[in-house]
Amino acid sequence: MDMLGIYLSVPFCRSKCTFCNFASGVFPAEYHDRYIARMEEDLGVTRKRARQWGAVLPQAVDSIYLGGGTPSLLSPALFRRLFTSLRREFAVLPTAEITVECAPGQLEPAVLEALAECGVTRVSFGVQSFVDSEARAIGRLHTRAVALEDIRRVQAAGINDVSVDLIAGVPAQTVESWYESLGVLADSGVDHASIYMLEVDDESRLGRELLVNGGRYRAQEVPADDEVADLYTEAIAFLAGHGLAQYEISNFARSGSESRHNLKYWRRQPYLGFGLDAHSMVRAHAGAALRFGTTDDFDAYLEGPGWGEPRRLDREEEMEEAWFLGLRLNEGVSLGSLRKEFSASVVREFLSTIGELEGDGLIAFVDGDRVALTARGRLLSNDVFGRFLAEPAVA
Ligand code: SF4
């Protein structure tokens, strides 16, 4: 039976990283209280909204994820209040995976104590680079020593599941410095890692600088796309050699430490998102997927109604999602499951595309039933996903 996942967006940061295009910003602490109160209002009307929309919410919650932003900037009192509200509104299982994103160097002892007390089981650190000059170049405020000390503190507080994010392609990164970061990550003993290839968004400070050829954020020193792809590919082999197997395009874990919450997104299991720019997917009574979300405008969120009206996906959209979300996972997409959910004839319509992509070396059959991206397919994943979007309509 499906369980529910809950995502809470906490969009507050101490400073803005140069590459960041998320709906996050630097706000005075007075806003924190108002924002949490606003989220609590939304938590309180969830069941009513779900009934109005004919949505079926699973009874039990088995994952909660506080992302952002830098949720660890909230005060201990706000964490306690938020978790009390969550447990009042939802049946949070004692075994639930509860993740909080933290920035190294921005986790006060009293906050860490509150996280442990609130039942947090997992911390995800946005390290991005363990090379101090690289972290500084992208606007991170920590050093390697601080990041490692924070990982140790979290584990000493009894929160054993720790994830570290790294970015391949930060300004001035070299193959040697990339291996240095990967080596520190592996030696730190964390059980999960996320590796992202830098994408320079025009709306980030780095992107704006690239457009005007400036020098402040070292945009001219961002490695070329093919070099970034090489760094990513080398990370996959390196991490596998250190017990962290790839299970999704950007995610790596020791066996059993995969992110339960994030798996819901790729497996199309139900989740609710609260706060700024948060997305939700739940099922209607007839089984159709309902997607809805909130604004990415901070003031509008504080004043507004929370979720916008839901959109009911048609069968064709659901099938497309099954492909482009499922193919992100190394386990791939089961044709047998698709036949059950849609129909054998619908799956047959995709066989020629699968054959072509297999011929191009972009996907492969894992066993007789599952189709998965190859290593090359992961690098060209958007092209592969696009090929599945062009298929005929699902009846
Ligand atoms: S801490 Fe995260 S959300 Fe905040 S600016 Fe940096 S990357 Fe963006």
Please report, for the domain that includes residue 365, its CATH number.
1.10.10.920
Q: What does the alpha-carbon distance between residue 194 and residue 200 come to, in Å, rounded to a whole number?
A: 18
Residue 365: per-residue pLDDT: 94
| Residue with CA nearest ligand 1 atom 6 | 17
The whole-number pLDDT of residue 367 equals 86
For atom 5 of ligand 1, which residue has the closest CA? Answer: 16
Q: How far is the CA of 71 from the centre of ligand 1 (A)?
A: 10
205 and 95 inside one domain: yes
What's the DSSP call for residue 219?
Answer: G
Asked whether residue 58 is assigned to any structural domain, the reply reads yes
More confident residue, 208 or 369: 369
Q: What is the pLDDT of residues 152-194, one digit of tens each?
A: 999 999 999 999 999 999 988 999 999 999 999 999 999 999 9
| Number of alpha helices (DSSP H) and beta strands (DSSP E) in the chain | 17, 16
The rounded Å distance from CA 70 to ligand 1 centre is 7
Pocket test for ligand 1, best of 70, 101, 167 (most atoms within 8 A of CB): 70
Same domain for 251 and 374: no
pLDDT of residue 208: 77
Closest-lying ligand 1 atom to the alpha carbon of residue 13: 4
Q: What is the pLDDT of residues 36-92, one digit of tens each?
A: 999 999 999 999 999 999 999 999 999 999 998 999 999 999 999 999 999 999 999
Q: How far is the CA of 348 from the centre of ligand 1 (A)?
A: 43
For the chain, the average pLDDT equals: 93
Distance 18 CA to ligand 1 centre (A): 9
Residues 51 and 132 in one domain: yes
DSSP element (H, E) containing 51:
helix 46-53
Q: Considering its fold, how many domains does the chain have in total? A: 2
pLDDT value of position 394: 58
Tell me the pLDDT band of 18, cut-offs 50, 70 and 90: confident
Whether the per-residue pLDDT at 391 is higher than 80: the answer is no
Comparing 249 with 17, the larger pLDDT belongs to 249
Span 342-362, average pLDDT: 94
Q: Which of 22, 166, 199, 200 to mutate to test the pocket of ligand 1 (most atoms within 8 A of CB)?
A: 22
Distance 21 CA to ligand 1 centre (A): 8
The token pair at 327 is: 């193919």
User: Do 242 and 389 have their domain in common?
Assistant: no
Q: Do 256 and 320 sit in the same domain of this protein?
A: no
Protein residue with least CA distance to atom 7, ligand 1: 20
The residue among 230, 264, 298 that closes a domain is 264
Same domain, 130 and 42: yes
Of 59 and 394, the structure prediction assigns the larger pLDDT to 59
Q: Return left, alpha or beta for 378; rule: phi > 0 is left, psi -120 to 50 is alpha, else beta.
A: alpha
Total residue count of the chain as it appears in this document:
395
What's the pTM value of the predicted model, to 2 decimals? 0.94
Which residues span the domain enclosing 361? 315-395
For residue 100, give both structure tokens.
């909080």
Spatial separation of the C-alpha atoms in residues 293 and 23, rounded to whole Å: 13
Q: Which ligand 1 atom is nearest residue 103's CA?
A: 1
Which residues approach ligand 1 with their CB closer than 6 A?
13, 16-17, 20, 22, 24, 68-70, 103, 126
Q: CATH number, domain at 168?
A: 3.20.20.70
Do both 248 and 350 map to the same domain? no
The gap between the terminal CA atoms of the chain, to the nearest Å, is 27
Report the 10 Å Cβ neighbour count for 41: 12
Residues 78 and 224 in one domain: yes
Task: Let me know whether 106 and 210 are in one domain.
Answer: yes
Examine the domain organization and report whether 164 and 68 are in the same domain.
yes
Structure confidence by residue, pLDDT tens digits, 258-316: 999 999 999 999 999 999 999 999 999 888 999 999 999 999 999 988 999 999 999 99
In angstroms, the CA 251 to CA 259 distance is 9
Q: What is the rounded (10 degree) CA torsion for 61, 112, 167, 213?
A: 120
With CA atoms as reference, report the closest residue to 114 among 81, 147, 149, 90.
Answer: 81
Residues with Cβ within 8 Å of 199's Cβ and at least 6 positions away in sequence, in order, are none
Q: Are residues 321 and 258 part of one domain?
A: no
Q: Is 302 exposed, middle or buried (0-12, 13-18, 19+ CB in 10 A)?
A: middle
Which of these, 353, 320, 319, lies nearest to 339 by C-alpha position?
Answer: 319
